[in-house]
Amino acid sequence: MVTVQDIPFVQFLDRTGSPVGSLPSFAKDSRNLIPFYKAMVRTRVFDEKVVALQRTGRMGTYASSLGQEAVSIGIASAMAEEDVFLPSFREQGGQLWRGVSMVEILQFWGGDERGSDFKGPAKDFPVCIPVASQFPHAAGVGLAMRLRSEHRVAVVVGGDGSTSKGDFYEALNVSALWSLPVVFVVTNNQWAISVPRNEQTAADTLAHKAISAGMPGEQVDGNDVIAVHECVGRARKRALGGEGPTLIEAVTYRLSDHTTADDASRYREDTEVTENWKHEPNERLRTYLAATGVWTKEDEEQLLKDCRTAVDDAAQTYLALEPELPRAMFDYLFERRPAELDEQYTNIVSARSAEHA
């Protein structure tokens, strides 16, 4: 562990996939890391499929997690089932780990609200599209846990751009003030859409923003799933012990466009992306597993085959679903529909009935 001023930086596998110092206990047997790697590969294969669906007009705008798989899997694998996950819009890997189905994620990105009605982790929050609004939600969840004397934590994730929003600072402030059981993770992928990290803030690190709130902050190598898992696990233990929240900055790189509605080549150089491909998380972990003798070429081929089959099956199931009725935009928005929307609602229902007359 080295430090950037007073903020620790945590790394266990370097960019070449070689160990740095002593590994944490859970990682000493490299076979324990195979589920992490499988989940990271599954996430990447899933992303590839959804992007293909969008490019062929069968899916809405989608945010790929290409290059960030270790962050999402590292977070989710360190959580307990009873914890509450509050994701941003690039955490499909963590959602899959926690039991959200591929079909449900496809439904969400296809504009079907039923995709947020998880059959698995029903207590987890749906994908949060408005930037940084999930942070106050997490503080509220943490407060509820405290008031109910529950032994669990809220884990919330946002991007580097979200740290420029007031929601972020307000959530940190109240969480530290009330010593709430919340783990804040900032995925620093270096770009808030087209704005680079160095044009967002003068802070040396995003983790330094924890200091003003009065909580611990640390940086972690976001391309090292071992390090992410370890840091989130320690922060979770700290929260459970009544010591309050922690801010973790996971340093990684967004290898994809911001979303399928973006063209990143307009604002960043290809050479930058090419350089960061050399340090991506999946290759790093695969190199380590192969070096320790627990992963073979045959294992890799079988994993890719299994992932592609599962993803293709989920896509076919999604595409065969009966589309949600247009009235759903009203049904899910309000518990009691305001009177001023009655006319719009009636017109939609009438138009739908006329189509089937």
Strand 7-10 with 154-159, pairing: unpaired
| Count of other CB atoms within 10 angstroms of residue 149 | 6
Nearest to 204 by CA among 223, 224, 219, 186: 219
Catalytic residue among 31, 55, 151, 267: 267
The answer to whether residue 332 is catalytic is no
- Find out whether 350 and 325 touch, Cβ atoms under 8 Å: no
The answer to whether residue 258 is catalytic is yes
Catalytic residue among 42, 98, 254, 284: 254
Q: How far apart are CA 77 and CA 230, in angstroms?
A: 10
Q: In the Cβ-directed half-sphere of 295, how many Cα atoms lie within 13 Å?
A: 25
Catalytic residue among 197, 258, 284, 286: 258
**Angular region, 180: left φ>0, alpha ψ -120 to 50, beta rest:** beta
Tell the burial category of 26 from Cβ atoms under 10 Å away from its Cβ (0-12, 13-18, 19+).
Answer: middle
Helix, strand or coil for residue 346? Answer: helix
- The catalytic residues are 254, 258, 267
